[in-house]
């Protein structure tokens, strides 16, 4: 999720709701933050394109390639809607067989969508779950997180984005209640204190670098449950303003497996393959190819419009009774079933911008846990 949305008190779609007092507030348990709870730390790159995801057809030799990559911090969220657009382009020539390159969130959803459109599908990929970058995402509905740049996106992008987001939401919701909980609703809390009055002598704070990300969630007003105020004293949080909403959470360990299983059950095949240049695609037997290579498209297609935006996640073992998400001052937590993901979103939106370093930073991981501790009352 992006900082701006979170600071506004949850999804913009739900901003104007009155207080959401429940007859009985759930007894929230503070997350144990000691380092002994950590079972791994991961790094991932958001494949950001200023113009938005590339979803278009290109002829490469005798092949028709449909690109479907560059979804920034919104890849899981927009996956099904993006697949709908890409597969629509792929099926224009009514191919019997379709190849999909890539087995991340975008590749699997495109492959399943192509099967439902009547194609026999083979996925060619260098990595599969759990080794794809999609496996290292936060796992929350965040359809406009670092998805495009206001100044650069095409004029019709917001309309296409809205269609993709609405299609995706409906598909994600269709998994709620399935065995293994690939997708579920989870309470999400946004926490803040009143802004302190600025001291007259305070030095001016430099404006943070703002890549000019497009924020489009206002177009989805009413799609997600509303956020509203909660009495802070009924919570363990060290904040004077607490708002609670609900958000779709992706338990990615299970979601990835379920998508792979659905694909295989419908007769899909995986083949291990690595492509080094577009000309390598001539080796495939399929004439129509959907290219879902994510950040990998930067090297494969020499697409330098892809900017990596780095994010690091500290994973705590699941804790009994802890089943919510919260955000405060740049720290976001989501207590998923496959691990509690803790992420430092940094001082401003540009955190991780153009940083392709996928090595874990242990010092920053330690600092993330310290910051999480401060989210709770002592």
d(Cα 148, Cα 150) in Å, to the nearest integer? 7
| Under 8 Å between Cβ of 271 and 124 | yes
Q: Does 149 bind ligand FAD (CB under 6 A)?
A: no
Smallest separation (angstroms) from ligand FAD to the CB of 369: 17
Q: Does 168 bind ligand FAD (CB under 6 A)?
A: no
Among 183, 1, 165, which residue's Cα sits nearest to residue 85? 165
C-beta of 106: minimal distance to ligand FAD in Å?
4
Q: How many residues does the chain have?
A: 378
**Closest distance between ligand FAD and the C-beta of residue 344, in Å?**
10
Task: Report CA Rg, the chain.
Answer: 21
Q: How far is the CB of 143 from ligand FAD (least distance, A)?
A: 7
By CB under 6 A, residue 173 contacts ligand FAD: no
Give which of 313, 305, 307 is closest to 1, Cα–Cα.
313
Output the smallest distance, CB 76 to ligand FAD, in A: 3
Please give the Cα distance from 369 to 33 (Å, whole number): 6
- Listed in sequence order, the residues at least 6 apart from 189 whose beta carbon sits closer than 8 Å to its beta carbon are 230, 235, 237, 242, 243, 244, 324, 325, 326, 327
Which ranges of the chain would DSSP assign to H, the alpha helix?
3-7, 75-90, 105-116, 157-173, 252-265, 297-300, 362-373
User: How many residues form the binding site for ligand FAD (CB under 6 A)?
Assistant: 40
The pattern of x and - marking residues 292 through 321 that bind ligand FAD according to CB under 6 A reads xxxxx---x----------x-x--------
Site for ligand FAD in 87-116 (CB under 6 A): 101-107
269-288: contacts with ligand FAD (CB under 6 A): 273-275
Among 134, 167, 247, 258, binds ligand FAD (CB under 6 A): 134
Among 3, 67, 71, 323, binds ligand FAD (CB under 6 A): 71
For position 333 contacting ligand FAD by CB under 6 A, the verdict is: no
Measure the CA–CA gap between 127 and 294, rounded to whole angstroms: 12
Angle at 250 between CA 248 and CA 253, to 5 degrees: 165
Residues 1-30 that bind ligand FAD (CB under 6 A): none
Q: Per CB under 6 A, does 139 bind ligand FAD?
A: yes
State which residue, 71 or 244, has the beta carbon closest to ligand FAD.
71
Among the listed residues 14, 52, 76, 235, the single contact to ligand FAD using CB under 6 A: 76
Residue 55 sits in the site that holds ligand FAD (CB under 6 A) = no
Out of 126, 166, 192, 257, name the contact with ligand FAD by CB under 6 A: 126
Contact in structure between 164 and 157 (CB atoms under 8 Å): no
Rounded Cα distance, 286 and 337, in Å: 38
Q: How many CA atoms lie within 13 A of 360 on its CB side?
A: 14
Q: Which of 6, 11, 38, 45 touches ligand FAD by CB under 6 A?
A: 45
The span from the CA of 52 to the CA of 57, in Å, is 15
Q: Are 8 and 101 in contact (CB under 8 A)?
A: no
Stretch that binds ligand FAD, among 5-13, 75-83, 216-224, 314-322 (CB under 6 A): 75-83
Distance CA 329, CA 318 (A): 23
Q: Which of 46, 67, 219, 337 binds ligand FAD (CB under 6 A)?
A: 46
Residue in 132, 169, 284, 326 binding ligand FAD, rule: CB under 6 A = 132
249 near ligand FAD, rule: CB under 6 A: no
Residue 137 interacting with ligand FAD (CB under 6 A): yes
Q: Is 216 in the site for ligand FAD (CB under 6 A)?
A: no
64 is a site residue for ligand FAD (CB under 6 A): no
Q: Is 223 in the site for ligand FAD (CB under 6 A)?
A: no
Q: Decide the pairing of beta strands 120-125 and 97-101.
A: parallel
Binding site for ligand FAD (CB under 6 A): 44-46, 69, 71-77, 101-107, 125-127, 132-134, 137-140, 142, 273-275, 292-296, 300, 311, 313
């Amino acid at each position: 999720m992006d900082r701006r949305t979170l600071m506004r008190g949850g999804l913009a779609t739900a901003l104007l709701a009155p207080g959401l007092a429940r007859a009985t507030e759930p007894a929230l348990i503070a997350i144990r933050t000691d380092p002994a709870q950590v079972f791994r730390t991961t790094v991932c790159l958001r494949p950001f394109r200023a113009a938005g995801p590339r979803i278009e057809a290109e002829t490469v030799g005798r092949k028709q390639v449909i690109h479907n990559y560059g979804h920034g911090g919104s890849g899981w969220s927009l996956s099904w809607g993006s697949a709908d657009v890409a597969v629509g382009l792929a099926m224009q020539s009514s191919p019997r067989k379709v190849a999909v390159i890539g087995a991340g969130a975008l590749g699997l959803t495109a492959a399943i969508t192509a099967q439902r459109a009547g194609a026999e599908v083979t996925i060619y990929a260098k990595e599969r779950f759990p080794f794809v970058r999609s496996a290292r995402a936060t796992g929350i509905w965040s359809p406009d997180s670092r998805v495009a740049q206001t100044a650069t996106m095409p004029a019709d992008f917001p309309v296409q984005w809205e269609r993709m987001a609405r299609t995706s939401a409906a598909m994600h919701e269709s998994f709620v209640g399935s065995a293994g909980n690939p997708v579920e609703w989870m309470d999400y809390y946004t926490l803040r204190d009143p802004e302190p009055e600025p001291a007259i002598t305070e030095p001016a704070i430099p404006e943070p670098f703002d890549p000019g990300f497009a924020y489009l969630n206002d177009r989805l007003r009413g799609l997600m449950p509303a956020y509203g105020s909660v009495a802070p004293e009924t919570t363990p949080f060290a904040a004077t303003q607490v708002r609670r909403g609900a958000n779709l959470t992706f338990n990615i360990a299970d979601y990835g497996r379920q998508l792979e299983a659905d694909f295989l059950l419908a007769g899909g095949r995986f083949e291990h393959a690595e492509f080094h240049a577009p000309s390598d695609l001539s080796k495939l037997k399929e004439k129509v190819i959907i290219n879902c290579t994510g950040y990998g498209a930067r090297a494969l297609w020499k697409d330098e419009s892809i900017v990596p935006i780095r994010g690091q996640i500290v994973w705590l073992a699941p804790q009994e009774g802890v089943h919510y998400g919260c955000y405060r001052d740049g720290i976001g937590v989501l207590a998923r079933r496959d691990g509690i993901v803790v992420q430092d979103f940094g001082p401003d939106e540009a955190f991780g911008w153009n940083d392709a370093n996928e090595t874990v930073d242990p010092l920053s991981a330690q600092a993330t846990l310290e910051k999480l501790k401060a989210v709770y009352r002592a």
